Structure 1
C-alpha cells in the first residue's frame, strides 16, 4: 500500500479563480484523476511535477494529479504494476530488473539525464577511488533502489565483486546515514545529489569518488505501464506534455523563485531552510540537462540502456538480457512534446 501522502493536487478547485482556469481549464467533473508515485518525499527531486501542478500545466491537460511518496524504486514499480498509480519515478536499473520478471513497466521520460548518483566517502577518509573499497561496507538508502544498481556498476567496473570484496548495508538516508558514518558502520555511501547535500548540511562532510565516465548513466525518470500506453496513449502524452512544460519552466533562471515556491508547497519541511533548498534545487536541476541536448529534454539514449542492461546482468539483478530491450522504454512521447513547450 502507498504509505505516505505528501501532496494532493486538487487542481480544478485550486485553479478555479485564476485566469488560467477561466481560459479554458477543464471543470472539476471533467478532470481525469491520476496518481504519481515518487521514491522519496522530496519535492525537489521531482521538481517538474510540482511546477506542472503549481503552474496549472496538468490542469490544462485535464489532469487532477495526486503525488504519493513511497520508499524506493521497488515500491514505485509495485505501485504501478498493482494499479495503485499510473505514473512513477523509478530508476532504470530497477525497471530492467522488473521487466525481467515480466512486470510490464515502461520508461517514458529521462529526467535525471546525467547520473544523479555517486559513491561518497567522508571528507577526511583516506579512500580516493572505488577500488579502495575492497573489504569495506557501502551504505545505501534503500535495499533495491536505483542507487544500489549504480554503486554495483561502479564497483564492478573497478574490479570488485559484491559479497566477496565488499558488502552493501541499507542504512536509510539523512540522519541514519550520518549515524552510520559516525559509528563506522559504513566506509562509503551510494548517494543521490540530494543525499550528499543533506549529509553535508547535517555536519557529515563527504566527497564523491565516482569516476567521471559514469556520468552518462542517467538516473530516475518517469515511467508508466505498457498497458496504459496501449489502452490510453493520449493520457500518457498529456502527462508527459505537462511534466515537459514544468521542466522547461524550471530551467529558466527567470522562474527560479516561482519554482522554489512550488516545491515548498509540495514539501514545506524540505524548504524550511530556504537557502539550502535553493542550493539543492540548483544541484538537482543541473543533473536534468542532457549531455547531448540535440534530442531535447526527456530523450533516452538507446546505447545507455544497453549499458544499463549489461550492468544488471553482470550484477545478477537479471539472469539474462531482455528479449526486446526496446520494450523497456519509449521516446515516442518525448519526441511528440519536445519543442511544444519552448
Structure 2
C-alpha cells in the first residue's frame, strides 16, 4: 500500500522505449521516491529524469510522494511505503544510531543548505572581513544563527564584541535590510539567496569551504531493498545522473522549470523566481570533486556531521562504524551514463 499524502505529486508517465523496445505502463517497474518537501526544484535531477523520459528508458515508472520532513521520509522507508527517500543527514544519522538499517546512496546536495552571503559588488571575501559589522538572520534561534556563530567562533570572533547578529526575517525582508544598510551580510538558506537575487540584490557566498561540507539532503534506501533490487537501483541511478547532468546545463533551465512544474504546478507560476532558485540549487548540487562523479560521498563530510550532532547532543554517542551508513558502490556505474 503506497502512502496517500495530500501533498502527493503525480508522476509524469508516458509510453517510452526501454533500451530500444517499446514499453507499456505494465512493462515498467514502479519505484516510489519519498521527499520531505513538495518543491520539485529541490529534487530536480529526478524531476528532469521523469520529464525527459530517462526513467522510462530504463524500464522504470517513478512516482514521487511528498511528506512533512525527513523523519516522515524515514518512517515511509521503514514501513515499506517508499523505496527511495530524500532525508537530511541529521535525522538519517539519528535513525542509524537507533539501528535502523537504512543506507545513504547518493549525496544530492554536497553543499550546505546555509551560507553567509554578501552583496556581489562588496569587497568582503571571508568571515574575518566582517569584523565589526552586522550579520542578518531569519530568526534568533534558528539553525542559520547557530551555523553563523559556529563559523565566526572558528574565526576567533565573538558575538557582541567582534560582530552583531540582527534578526531581519527571511529573504524578502533581508533585501530591505541590505537596502537600508541595517546589515552587511546575511545567513541565507538556498531559497533566501534566490529571493535576494530575484529582487535586485545579487549576493555572493563567502562561507569557508570547511563549513560547506555540512551537506544537505541525499538519497537513501533500506539495506534490504537495495540487496533485493540491484538492477532497479542501477537503472534508477543511471537515469538520475543523466537528469543531474541535464539540469546543470544553463541552456536547459527553461526545460528544468517545465519539468518541475509538471510535478508541482506552482513552481511554474513565477518563472523569474524559479530561474533564480534553479540557479542556486544547481550550485548546491554540483559536486565538490566532479571527477568523482555525481552523488559521491566522503567520510570527512560524514565525520563533520557526526561530530556536530554529538557536540549538540542530538546524537548520544558516535556511530561505531560511520563508513557503514553510506555507500559509493553505485557511483561509477551510475556516472557511466554521462561519461560515454
TM, length-normalised to structure 1: 0.76
Q: Tell me the equivalent position of 1:111.
A: 108
Q: Tell me the equivalent position of 1:57.
A: 54
- Aligned partners of 2:199 and 2:51: how far apart in 1? 30
| CA displacement 1:126-182 (0-9 Å, x = unmatched) | xx97999xxx99767xx99xx79967965885799xxxxxxxxxx9x889999xxxx
- Aligned partners of 1:34 and 1:154: how far apart in 2? 40
Please say if 1:43 is aligned against 2:30: no
> Do the aligned partners of 2:12 and 2:50 also contact (CA within 8 Å) in 1?
no
Following superposition, the deviation at residue 67 of structure 1 comes to 1.0
Change (3 A) 1:240 1:151: farther
- Aligned partners of 1:197 and 1:78: how far apart in 2? 31
> Do the aligned partners of 1:6 and 1:266 also contact (CA within 8 Å) in 2?
no
- Aligned partners of 2:153 and 2:103: how far apart in 1? 26
Please say if 1:101 is aligned against 2:103: no
Please say if 1:326 is aligned against 2:328: no
> Do the aligned partners of 1:36 and 1:86 also contact (CA within 8 Å) in 2?
yes
Q: Tell me the equivalent position of 2:164.
A: none
- Aligned partners of 1:277 and 1:226: how far apart in 2? 35
Q: How many residues align?
A: 323
Aligned with 1:270 (options 267, 272, 291): 267
Q: Structure 2: which 5+ runs fail to align?
A: 119-125, 158-168, 176-184
Q: Tell me the equivalent position of 1:8.
A: 10
Change (3 A) 1:320 1:153: farther
Q: Tell me the equivalent position of 1:290.
A: 287
Q: SS of the residue aligned with 2:311?
A: helix
Q: Tell me the equivalent position of 1:87.
A: 84
Change (3 A) 1:38 1:207: same
Q: Tell me the equivalent position of 2:31.
A: 34
- Aligned partners of 1:83 and 1:73: how far apart in 2? 15
Q: SS of the residue aligned with 1:84?
A: coil
Please say if 1:281 is aligned against 2:278: yes
- Aligned partners of 1:101 and 1:156: how far apart in 2? 32
Change (3 A) 1:234 1:21: closer
Q: SS of the residue aligned with 1:29?
A: coil
> Do the aligned partners of 1:48 and 1:244 also contact (CA within 8 Å) in 2?
yes
> Do the aligned partners of 2:104 and 2:327 also contact (CA within 8 Å) in 1?
yes
- Aligned partners of 1:191 and 1:82: how far apart in 2? 35
CA RMSD of aligned residues (A): 4.2
Q: Structure 1: which 5+ runs fail to align?
A: 122-127, 161-170, 179-187
> Do the aligned partners of 2:213 and 2:304 also contact (CA within 8 Å) in 1?
no
| CA displacement 1:88-126 (0-9 Å, x = unmatched) | 2112222111100112221111111222323679xxxxx
| CA displacement 1:219-257 (0-9 Å, x = unmatched) | 111111112112222222222121111111112233333
> Do the aligned partners of 2:33 and 2:64 also contact (CA within 8 Å) in 1?
yes
Following superposition, the deviation at residue 24 of structure 1 comes to 1.9
